[in-house]
Amino acid sequence: MAFQKKEENKESLARITAGSVNNMLKKNRETIIKTLPRGFNFDRMCRTVINAISTTPLLAKCTPGSLFLSTIRGFSLGLEPNGPLGEGYLVPFWNKEIGGYEAQFMPGYRGLQSLARRSGEIADLYAKVVCREDEFRVEEGTARAIVHRPNYTGSRGEPVCYYAVFRLKTGEFDFEVMSLEEIERVRCSSKSATKGPWVDWPEEMAKKTVMKRLLKRAPMSVELADAALLDNRASSGDSQDDILVVEGLEVDEATPQEIQQELNQEKKADLKAALENRAQPVNIPPVQPEPEKVPASSGGLFEPSEAELDAAEAKSRK
């Protein structure tokens, strides 16, 4: 019974948070549509964030305002948070200042890859995992080169390192290699090391880590630079409020718990009013007896029956 109650509370919290975010999206519809890249649909954005809240318990505990703004940051870059392509994620972080959870947008490996290819200068960008049974060779010096032949005919073994490569449209290229130890140090320094994408998609996060280090040497578009900055802030747990700011948005700063308390107070007030209405006495007017019907006769007087007349006559004789 207690477990069932707990699950009902979780569902109730998710409905409250999702409802508040949905209200903000609808209220700011016209402003948001102006920020969306071509090909992105407002209704799809609404469905995406509602689905993320419904399927991720910690997101339901985040402030609706932070979920709302994080969703807009992702879509304004042309990246769908928590979508099937893994382009980005809504990640919950504990904020000690407010004593509750807030959401931040974290670009994914495929999101950075997509933005880099849209920049116009990068022809290709990718990251790969190298396993123990693969053939892998790196040459440094004046003629840098990297050779990777995965062992697809048998067991590749456990991962040993990751690398990323970009190639420009001019033909120039560069690459970066990171060992598992280097990847692990980056993971441990992240505020989301034990939850979120690092737990759910560790290989994708490892690829993104080596790709970010490589992209420091690549030509960057404004969108790609913003995405990298968002990722750095999300990893460190710092605020993203000054990145991709959209003017004119109406944001509700209430927490799910505050919204729940307000709803509870409204319910209590309604219940109290209903009980008071039931307790008030109802004034029912007394039933008035119907007047005795008088048979119609001359003068309106009562006329005795024949039996009554005989009885009266017999009495007078006595």
Residue range 43-63, pLDDT digits in tens: 999 999 999 998 888 999 999
Task: Return contacts of 92-97, CB within 8 angstroms, 24+ apart.
Answer: 92/56, 92/58, 92/59, 92/61, 92/62, 92/195, 92/196, 93/191, 93/192, 93/234, 93/237
Is the model's pLDDT at 7 over the cut of 90? no
Sequence-separated (6 or more) residues with CB below 8 Å from residue 203: 129, 159
Residue whose tokens read 């994620």: 89
* CA geometry: angle 278, 284, 290, nearest 5 deg: 160
Quick one: CA torsion of 276, 278, 283, 287, rounded to 10 degrees? -170
Is the model's pLDDT at 205 over the cut of 50? yes
What's the pLDDT at 40? 85
What's the pLDDT at 285? 65
Pick from 279, 244, 282: nearest CA to 88 = 244
Q: What is the pLDDT of residues 159-180, one digit of tens each?
A: 999 999 999 999 999 999 999 9
Q: What is the pLDDT of residues 253-272, one digit of tens each?
A: 777 666 666 656 656 666 66
What's the pLDDT at 3? 44
Residues 24 and 101: their CA atoms lie apart, in Å, by 18
More confident residue, 154 or 3: 154
Pairing verdict, β 159-168 and 135-139: unpaired
What's the pLDDT at 197? 83
Mean pLDDT of 228-252: 89
Is the model's pLDDT at 302 over the cut of 90? no
Q: Give, for 168, the enclosing helix (H) or strand (E).
A: strand 159-168
What's the pLDDT at 188? 93
Where residue 131 falls among pLDDT bands split at 50, 70, 90? very high
136, amino acid identity = F
Range scoring the smallest mean pLDDT among 125-134, 187-196, 225-234? 187-196
Q: Which of 127-141, 243-257, 280-294 has the highest mean pLDDT?
A: 127-141
Residues 287 and 48: their CA atoms lie apart, in Å, by 66
Residue 203 Cα distances to 37, 96, 209, 235, angstroms? 29, 30, 10, 16
Residue 248 Cα distances to 31, 136, 172, 219, angstroms? 7, 53, 43, 32
Sequence-separated (6 or more) residues with CB below 8 Å from residue 175: 144, 146, 163, 164, 165, 166, 214
Q: Are 106 and 240 in contact (CB under 8 A)?
A: no
Residue 185 Cα distances to 96, 177, 192, 209, 229, angstroms? 24, 15, 13, 11, 19
On average, the pLDDT of the chain sits at: 84
Mean pLDDT of 25-35: 93
Range scoring the smallest mean pLDDT among 123-132, 228-237, 272-281? 272-281
What's the pLDDT at 298? 46
What's the pLDDT at 210? 97
Range scoring the smallest mean pLDDT among 45-49, 124-128, 202-206, 306-310? 306-310
Classify residue 3 by burial, with Cβ atoms within 10 Å: 0-12, 13-18, 19+: exposed
What's the pLDDT at 237? 81
Q: Are 131 and 160 in contact (CB under 8 A)?
A: yes
Is the model's pLDDT at 206 over the cut of 70? yes
Residue whose tokens read 């932070």: 66
Mapped onto helix, strand or coil, the DSSP state of residue 78 is: coil
Cβ neighbour number for residue 244 with a 10 Å cutoff? 20
What's the pLDDT at 97? 87
Cβ neighbour number for residue 21 with a 10 Å cutoff? 26
Residue 164 Cα distances to 111, 155, 241, angstroms? 15, 23, 30
